[in-house]
Structure 1
Amino acid sequence: MASRTGAPEGTMFKANGLEWDVIDTGMPSPDAPTLVLLPGTLGTAGIFRAQIDGLRDIARVIALTYPIERNLGRLVDSLITLLDELGIDTFHILGSSFGGFAAQWLADRASDRIETLFIGNSLVDPVPSRKRLPPLDTMEAMNGEQHKELILKSVAGWDESEPVFADLKKKLMESAETVGGEGLKARVMALQNSQAVPPLAVAPERIVIIESVDDPLIGPEARRAVEERYPGAEIRRFRVGGHYPYVTRPDEYNAIIRERLLAAP
């Protein structure tokens, strides 16, 4: 665990030639755990505002915005170097959607450093998701703005059963502009060009699967695949939460994380 003071919000760090935007709250106490947050395709570090504000009293919270990199292996290698440079040894990591997939690959390369692996609204194999997307060669040929248009068209079709879901859509539209077309394309292709996550050397009791029954992107088949990959893992399920329950149900979501952070030795 690191004892550094936090980096100011929006601080850029370069690791292995890639630039990460880092929000780092610093250590609230010398023996506090560290929580690393990885967003999804449309997210930036700031999308975890509710977790940053709600958990910084018990943990050093580090939320990240990805560099533009289309190779997931290089992205994960850079992330490991970044964590080293931030003085982080062991840590809890929560990844949502694309971030959950990346977090699993990080666990493949640094399993001994992970105290809890939170897999949020994510998947273990990108191949089935390709059925609802254009062919890979078509996506490769699309420019960034076309990728952004495709993603935002999908978001626009999501249900708005409560005002919070309409607010979420607005946040995602703003986030898409911040990430930019090329950044979105890089994330999409990093996922879709990847293989399925290999078996991990992470004990089931150190894995928490968070999912939503009404997730518009991660359907029953994908959720079942995650659950079957990690038998014995803790499963926390939102009946209504959508693809971003940490935004739409922040108090309940934070409670899941807090419980684990406080239980850690």
Structure 2
Amino acid sequence: MRELLAQLEARHDWHSLTVDGHEWRWLDTQAPGPATILLPGSVGDGAMFVRTLLSLGQRLRLIAVTYPALSDPAQLADGLAAVVKHLGLPPGRVVSSSFSAYWLQFYGLRHPGNVTSLVLGNGFVDGTDLAANPMFDRAFVEGISAQDLHNEWLTRVRATPTAPLQQLQEIMLAQRQSPLNLQARFLGVVRSKACPPLPLPDAAITVLDCDDDPLIPPHVRERLRQQYPGARHVSLPTGGHYPHVLNPQAYEDLLTNPM
């Protein structure tokens, strides 16, 4: 994974914009045609999509965004809108993962004119969905320091067998994602409340999940589908919580097929 990240960053430069005192960063493959924005989940920066960016970046304009240490979904939505305005992008597609699948709903709520389609990947409705997992218990997340939370997750990642996802997460936590950034995202998860109905047509929304996702249990997947019953629902048999890493071909097929 380290080699893939080096290859990606040799090919594409990072860009940044400060919005209300917070730095947003992104990689832009700058291929011709409409842009697709990619948003990572709680762990990692925009380069979590390294496989997708290297595989599709010359055919599709992909903009992989690293969002700042914010937990409020409205602030995140408005910050992304500022990035889109800065780049001069027309309405387009935004693809999310996990925590960003939560706050991306608020982007659709607050900035519907920016959207042609939203992909809510491996997401949830509100913080109660993940509360049974001790690492997403609200009292735990609110009571632990940013540094200790970061150390907990880095220790957990290092204790798992070596594999591409494990290597990518370790690089992100050890070298690229600050404790404050990780803490903000976890606080955003445990404090999350359901988004009001979106002023978007059903056809503009895709709910993506994976049958073997270890973090999003079946009843939570079903709850998000029921939140958007008229949306396109895509369930991959494999891909875990990171289909862009664990089932890249199916994930890339989803991005290259019309939505």
Question: 1:15-164 maps to which residues of 2 (within 5 A)?
Answer: 15-26=19-30, 28-29=31-32, 32-133=33-134, 135-152=137-154, 155=157
Give yes or no for the alignment of 1:12 onto 2:9: no
After alignment, is 143-152 or 122-131 more displaced?
143-152
Q: Given the alignment, which residue of 161, 168, 173 partners 2:170?
A: 173
Task: Provide the secondary structure at the position in 2 that maps to 1:83.
Answer: helix
Contact 2:35 2:63 in 1 (8 A): yes
Aligned to 2:6: none
1:17 shift after superposition: 1.9
CA RMSD of aligned residues (A): 2.2
1:208 shift after superposition: 1.4
Q: Given the alignment, which residue of 241, 247, 256 partners 1:258?
A: 256
* Structure-2 change in CA distance of 1:214 and 1:199 (3 Å): same
Aligned to 1:239: 237
Counterpart of 1:173 in structure 2: which amino acid?
E
Cα distance in structure 1, aligned partners of 2:191 and 2:217: 20
Cα distance in structure 1, aligned partners of 2:157 and 2:214: 9
Give CA-to-partner distance per residue, 1:65-120, whole Å, 9 cap, x none: 11122333222211111111111121100000011112111111112321111111
After alignment, is 9-18 or 251-260 more displaced?
9-18
1:137 shift after superposition: 4.2
1:139 shift after superposition: 2.2
Counterpart of 1:233 in structure 2: which amino acid?
A
Counterpart of 1:230 in structure 2: which amino acid?
Y
Task: Provide the secondary structure at the position in 1 that maps to 2:54.
Answer: helix
1:198 shift after superposition: 1.5
Contact 2:99 2:188 in 1 (8 A): no
Q: Percent identity?
A: 27
* Structure-2 change in CA distance of 1:230 and 1:132 (3 Å): same
* Structure-2 change in CA distance of 1:14 and 1:72 (3 Å): same
Aligned to 2:5: none
Task: Provide the secondary structure at the position in 2 that maps to 1:115.
Answer: strand
Question: Normalising to structure 2: TM-score of the pair?
Answer: 0.87
Task: Provide the secondary structure at the position in 2 that maps to 1:36.
Answer: strand
Question: 1:216-227 maps to which residues of 2 (within 5 A)?
Answer: 216-227=214-225
* Structure-2 change in CA distance of 1:108 and 1:35 (3 Å): same
Q: Given the alignment, which residue of 211, 226, 232 partners 1:228?
A: 226
Cα distance in structure 2, aligned partners of 1:187 and 1:247: 20
After alignment, is 127-136 or 249-258 more displaced?
127-136
Contact 1:107 1:200 in 2 (8 A): yes
Contact 1:94 1:117 in 2 (8 A): yes
Matched residue count: 247
Cα distance in structure 2, aligned partners of 1:91 and 1:141: 39
Contact 2:210 2:238 in 1 (8 A): yes
Give CA-to-partner distance per residue, 1:177-224, whole Å, 9 cap, x none: 211211110111122222112111221212112111110101101100
1:142 shift after superposition: 1.2
1:229 shift after superposition: 0.9
Q: Given the alignment, which residue of 199, 202, 206 partners 1:201?
A: 199
Structure 2 residue runs without a partner (length 5+): 1-10
